[in-house]
Amino acid sequence: MNTAASQPVETGTPAVRGSSDADGMAVASFLLGLPGLLVLNFVLGPAAIVLGLVALSRGTGRRGRALLGVLLGIADLVILVGLTVADHGVIWSFS
């Protein structure tokens, strides 16, 4: 009797996809944190932090890029606070 034919074959696709998703999140974190230093830092900073932390928690292969994305996101928020304090309020006006 052939026992190998009765057992399901595992392809390993979910593990590869999870790693690929985490790697993509690490890259996205970096790519959102970088322009956030100049524009839309109140949106891009938190997005970079969240994506970087999620990528790290999922065990990304691009750990350095995820950490850099988190650090850039924090720097985005620090710049936002610094510019807001220096201007004594919100620095954007819509009028």
Q: What is the pLDDT of residues 51-79, one digit of tens each?
A: 999 999 998 888 999 999 999 999 999 99
Model pTM score: 0.73
Spatial CA neighbour of 41 closest among 9, 79, 14, 8: 79
Q: What is the pLDDT of residues 9-20, one digit of tens each?
A: 555 444 445 578
pLDDT mean across residues, the chain: 81
Q: One-letter amino acid identity for 70?
A: V
- At 38 the three-state DSSP class reads coil
In degrees and rounded to multiples of 5, residue 9 shows phi and psi of -95, 130
- Contact 44/33 with Cβ under 8 angstroms? yes
